[in-house]
Amino acid sequence: MEAFLQHLLNGLLLGGTYALLGIGLTLIFGLRNVVYFAHGEFYTLGAYLTFAAASLLRVNFVLAIAVAILGGSLLGALCERVLLRPLRGESIDTTMLVMIGLWIATQNGELLAWGGVAKSIPHPFPTAPIVIGPVSVAPLRLFVLAAVLVLIAGSHVLIHRTRLGVAMRATFQDRETAALMGIDVGGIHTLTFAFGSGLAAAAGALLGPIFLVYPSMGDLAALKAFSVVILGGLGNFAGATLGGVILGIAEELGAGYVSSGYRDAVGFVIIILVLLVRPSGLFARAGRVG
Amino acid sequence: MRRWVLTWIAPTSLALVIVSAGVAQQDPIKIGVIAPLSGPVAASGNYVRMGAEIARDWINARGGVHGRRVALLVEDNKSDPKEAAGAAEKLIARGQVPVLMGAWGSSMTLAAMPKLEEYGVPMVVETSSAASITKRGNPWVFRISPPSEMEALGLEKYLGALGIRQADFMAVNTDWGRGAVTAFGDMLRRHNAGIGAVEFMDQAATDMNAQLTKIRSAGGDTLFLTTSVEQITLVLKQAQELRVARRIITTGGSSSPSQLVKQAGAAAEDSYHIVFFMPWFPEAMPDPNLAKAFVDEWTRRGNPFEGLTEGFRGHDGIATIAEAIRIASRAEPQAIREALWKVSLMGLNGPIKFEKDGPAGRESGQSRPSIFLVQIKGGKAALPAFLRK
Amino acid sequence: MTTPFWLPNPYHLHILIMAGIFSILALSLNLLLGYTGLLSLGHAAFFGIGAYTSALLALKAAWPFVAGFVAAVMLAGGSGYAIGRLALRLRGAYFVLVTISFAGVASLVSVNWMELTNGPLGLPGIPAAEVAGFVFRTKRAVYYLVLAVAGLAYLVCRRLVRSRIGRAFVALRENEALAASVGVDGARHLGLATVISAGMAGGAGSLYAHYTRFVSPEVFLFSYTVTMVIMVVAGGKGTLAGPIVGAVIFTILPEALREATSWQWQMLLYGVLLILTLLFLPRGIVPALTAWRDRR
């Protein structure tokens, strides 16, 4: 029983970060319907920016994370303006290939800049775990969970309670009408990308100190983000949050009780099953997909 | 018709132009090196390359081999077997190298081996640990690194002092990890020690909490860990968080205890590591002067200290090859192969001399490297208490 | 083609053989991507299934190469059929994700199912291809074999594309609802496209296995799929020559970059070149060349 509780707790903590990745991606994906491969790279970038700030510039830990989020957002906006906007009219595959090119270039650029050796990010939390009954958890992970909750809550407020959020949701639903209503659709695109990339960078910044930072860390994370998006439904904020948690717990329990080798298959199998059975996601209203 | 001509001639001429910008005539002896310089194990591949470069420079400083300089042709196998085979092909067919060193990972080496037979060029294997490499009946393969079975034998004599009664295993899901589990498992069974949980992790995995939770429940006294230094760091940290309190022994020689201390901190305390080179106390190595000189040169070049536990492989590989060329008196593949059987030299790890391994008539060469055990105590690598004189 | 005679260096032949194998892959992907408009990013799975099938049959059941090749084509085609059925209900990005997941699962199975695939240790010592007693052991022989199969693949694509079925594919790509309204059976045609496409990829896998004589889970790497997609889109999807041109150029390019620059910059330049090619020639190289030629 105690192993089960520990697995559950592990899954919850992991799921929170998957949720962050998923939320960012579901917004971007919902807007452009492009398989946005570069999302994983913003995750990696967030981690490297935090490393640079905390380790090289010796900035305060929380500030370092904030720097990473800001950096991620700015670069996301830049990416949208420079690469995606000129390709607005092109087919989905051309855009996707440009994203792939960006992915290859960025990852190898990071390899060039930082080298292949993984970096660890220094953090101010004690390493001795906190014991709560039968389960133990590192203080750093609790901080990450708290930060994730804050970010999710903040995002929710932004999307559902501000005018900007209304504009974003309107553009999702119907671009032409939104434009007719006077919304600056181009600006919304840029902002959505900035926001989504910022969240991805946040996930990387928060997970970087727990794990390690290396150039290919974003690959698997990106695929899991897609899994979360499918699970929760495209463009569905609450769906992505819940989806992230579900994926985290499913992976942990699968690895714990079925087989640790097939752990990453959980995300893939979820994608296949959900798309077979309920393509619009578990939490959206049913509808034709594609 | 014109479209046909256009689409076929253009790319082939492009190819011709590019590749004919190629190979210049050279006097130095060329040694091909295949290593993972990019991809997940890029750090290790680069350390091996750095060690190889030191060997090359030392050899050239002493006048080369029979008066000819030694040059290294380095190719990146990108941690991909297909690339490893392509790199071997390129080095042999284009670079005209008479001998190779490589390819670090066991799958990479296995993929390159058919090329060795196809072209008749020998290769010194400096890192790979899969048993099959020397058992496949490929007479062009000469390995100076220990297969997992030899590593296990190296640890066997310390079993009593360590007091292992029940062990669990965690290994990376590659031929290396699986081979280590089999080899050490067999060795433990011979001594009536129990085997508890056996868990694997994907090469790219970062979260091992599930496996560690299972191992915690299995309750052994020792955990054998076989994976790259990055994953070892993560396992140590997560084991500490989950309060998996037991003796940890890492195998494979790639654990770089110095890097573990830097990145895992207190979580690495008290862990044991099987290594093949001890840069912290070179005086304890079979050739203390050589070891000290290597460590000094390495640090003088500004290479990271953590890389020494891997970098020595590059040095020993090149030193072996150079010695074989010296014995053969010519840089010709068949002659080098015959000469490799006659090599008997003292490398950084210890004596290098090849014995026959594999099916009769088509044996590969396998040396008997020295195996060392160190422990992290007080944030530093040290000889375990029962080994200190 | 007489190429082996004026380009005798085995390394160059090796590049051309790989270009040939990738041409088959690119042609197969083009059937889906270029003609029916379905983007499959799991194509490496069919390649890998073909490679493993052929290898296992040769190693464990001592099947002759030709039989193994046919089995590879059929097994890969069968998996393609399964994916095709999924396509009935999904389009666009969702289909992409399913295909990625399929390839991901296939990859994990090949790594973990030790009894069948030998896991990460891979399958070494695969015998060379043999047809009616003639063993394709030398590079030159393999080159001609690959050329023959590639030629066959090209012919199949050409017949298919120029037939009524091919026109149906294009109709489905352009406007599915309209196509259905004139009686084009979407389900049947998409199924056919995916089966043929996957089967071809499986055949390429079989050739690969008997040429490199070693198969390991890395054949399922996403990077192979990415390479195929690059070849098709940059070469010019929806054309017949495009994938071939793309395959040749993008097999040679990484090797040329390996020559030209140090390994640190190789892949970085590759990514940048890719982006630039697509920004300036969004329809692909062959359509751009054709348009330029038509304009003169």
Task: Give the mean pLDDT of A6-29.
Answer: 85
Of A50-54, A90-94, C225-229, least confident by mean pLDDT is A90-94
What residues of chain C lie within 8 A of the CB of A33, using their CB?
A: 92-93
Mean of pLDDT over chain B: 88
Query: Does the beta carbon of B94 lie under 8 angstroms from any beta carbon of chain C?
Result: yes
**Contact criterion met (CB below 8 Å) for B303 and B279:** no
Q: Which of B15, B38, B173 sits opposite C263 (nearest CB)?
A: B38
Domain count of the fold of chain B: 2
- Domain match, B90 and B38 both: yes
Give the closest of A3, A111, A220 to B213, CB-based.
A3
CATH number of domain containing B101: 3.40.50.2300
pLDDT confidence bin for A283, thresholds 50/70/90: low
Mean pLDDT of A81-92: 76
From chain B, pick out residues whose CB is under 8 angstroms from the CB of C226: none
The partner residue sitting opposite B207, judged by closest CB among A6, A14, A136, is A14
- For the cut 50, the answer to whether the pLDDT of residue B371 exceeds it is yes
Arithmetic mean of pLDDT over chain A:
81
Q: How far apart are CA A98 and CA C230, in angstroms?
A: 10
Q: Supply the pLDDT for residue B292.
A: 95
Distance CA C120, CA B125 (A): 19
**Final residue before a domain boundary, out of B275, B295, B327:** B275
CA distance C151 to chain A (A): 27
Of residues A290 and A226, more confidence is placed in A226
Contact B90 C256 (CB under 8 A): no
Q: Is the domain of B104 the same as that of B86?
A: yes
- CA-to-CA distance for B87 and B27, rounded, in angstroms? 22
In a domain, B9, yes or no: no
What gap in Å lies between CA B274 and CA C264, rounded to an integer?
A: 31
Instruction: Verify that B185 and B259 share a domain, yes or no.
Output: yes
Q: Is B222:A272 a contact under the CB 8 Å cutoff? A: no
Percent of chain A at pLDDT exceeding 90: 7
Q: What is the pLDDT of residue C279?
A: 76
| Range scoring the smallest mean pLDDT among B65-69, B181-185, C154-158, C214-218 | C214-218
In sequence order, which ranges of C88-185 are alpha helices (DSSP H)? 92-112, 114-117, 139-162, 164-174, 176-181
A97 touches chain C (CB under 8 A): yes
Q: Inter-chain contact B214–A3, Cβ cutoff 8 Å?
A: yes
- Which two three-digit tokens encode residue A201? 């960078």
pLDDT at A227 over 90: no
Convert the pLDDT of each residue in B170-179 to its tens digit. 998 888 888 8
* C3 touching chain B per CB within 8 A: yes
Residue among B148, B133, B50 nearest B84 (CA)? B133
The DSSP symbol for A119 reads B
In a domain, B21, yes or no: no
Q: Which chains touch C (3 or more CB pairs under 8 A)?
A: A, B
Shared domain check, B164 and B256: yes
Question: How far is the alpha carbon of B338 from chain A, nearest alpha carbon, in Å?
Answer: 37
Answer with the one of B251, B275, B299 that is the final residue of a domain. B275
Query: Letter for the amino acid at A2?
Result: E
Residues B220 and B154 placed together within one structural domain of the fold: yes
A103-146, pLDDT tens digit by residue?
Answer: 888 888 887 788 767 788 888 887 778 888 778 788 888 888 88
Q: Which domain holds residue B35?
A: 26-146+286-366
Which of C3, C9, C244 minimises the CB distance to B7?
C244
Find tokens 């020295």 and name the residue. B370
Alpha-helix residue ranges (DSSP H) falling in chain C: 3-6, 10-30, 43-60, 65-87, 92-112, 114-117, 139-162, 164-174, 176-181, 186-212, 222-235, 241-260, 263-280, 285-295
- Same domain? For B293 and B258 the reply is no
Q: Which residues of C touch B3 (CB under 8 A)?
A: 241, 290, 293
Q: Of the residues B219, B247, B275, which one is the last residue of a structural domain?
A: B275
Torsion angle, alpha carbons of B80, B85, B86, B92, to 10: 140
CA–CA distance, B365 with B189 (Å, rounded to integer): 28
Task: Note whether B201 and B106 are same-domain residues.
Answer: no
Contacts 24+ apart (CB under 8 A), C130-139: C130/C64, C130/C65, C131/C65, C131/C66, C136/C210, C139/C4, C139/C10, C139/C13, C139/C14, C139/C17
Share of residues in chain A with pLDDT > 70 (%): 92
Positive or negative CA dihedral for B321, B322, B324, B328?
Answer: positive
Evaluate whether A46 touches A201 at the Cβ level (below 8 Å).
yes
Task: Say whether both B245 and B311 belong to one domain.
Answer: no
Domain membership flag for residue B254: yes
Question: What pLDDT is attached to residue B121?
Answer: 95
- What are the pLDDT digits (tens) for B295-336? 999 999 999 998 999 999 999 999 999 999 999 998 899 999
Contact A108 C267 (CB under 8 A): yes
- Does any domain span residue B91? yes
Q: Which is more confidently placed, C258 or A19?
A: A19
DSSP B281-316: -GGGSSSHHHHHHHHHHHHHTT--GGGHHHHHHHHH
- Chain A residue with Cα closest to B42: A116
On whether both B327 and B352 belong to a single domain, the answer is yes
The verdict on A94 touching C (C-beta cutoff 8 Å) is: yes
In this prediction, residue B286 carries a pLDDT of 93
Q: Alpha helices, DSSP H only, in B157-256?
A: 159-162, 175-190, 209-218, 229-241
pLDDT band at B24 (very low <50, low <70, confident <90, very high): very low
pLDDT at B19 exceeding the cut of 90:
no
> What crossing angle do the helices spanning C186-212 and C10-30 adopt, rounded to 10°?
170
B270 & B155 share domain? yes
Q: What is the pLDDT of residue B22?
A: 38
d(CA B45, CA B35): 5
Query: Distance, in angstroms, between B20 CA and closest chain C CA?
Result: 10
Residue B11 lies in a domain: no
Rg (C-alpha) for chain A, rounded Å, is 19
User: What is the predicted pLDDT for the residue at C121?
Assistant: 75
Q: Is the ipTM of this complex over 0.90?
A: no
Q: Residues B151, B152, B154, B160: what is their CA dihedral angle, to the nearest 10 degrees?
A: 150
**Which residues, listed in sequence order, are joined to residue C293 by a DSSP beta bridge?**
none
Q: Is residue B387 part of a domain?
A: no
Of C9, C241, C267, the CB nearest to B93: C9
In a domain, B20, yes or no: no
Kindly state whether residues B154 and B255 are assigned to the same domain: yes
Task: Render pLDDT for B85-108 as a digit per residue (tens, 0 to 9).
Answer: 888 988 998 889 999 998 998 888
pLDDT per residue as tens, chain C (296 positions): 556 666 667 788 888 899 999 999 999 999 888 787 777 788 889 999 999 999 999 988 888 888 989 999 999 999 988 887 776 677 666 777 788 888 888 888 888 887 888 777 788 888 888 887 788 878 888 888 888 999 999 898 888 888 888 888 777 777 767 777 777 777 777 788 889 999 999 999 999 999 888 888 888 877 788 888 888 888 888 888 889 988 998 888 887 777 676 666 777 787 788 778 777 877 778 888 888 888 87
User: How much is the pLDDT for B319?
Assistant: 95
Average pLDDT over residues B235-242: 88
> In this structure, is residue B59 part of a structural domain?
yes
Are both B217 and B234 inside the same structural domain? yes
Cβ separation A279–C272 shorter than 8 A: no
Query: Which residue among C214, C245, C259 sits closest to B7, beta carbon to beta carbon?
Result: C245
Q: Are C111 and B173 in contact (CB under 8 A)?
A: yes
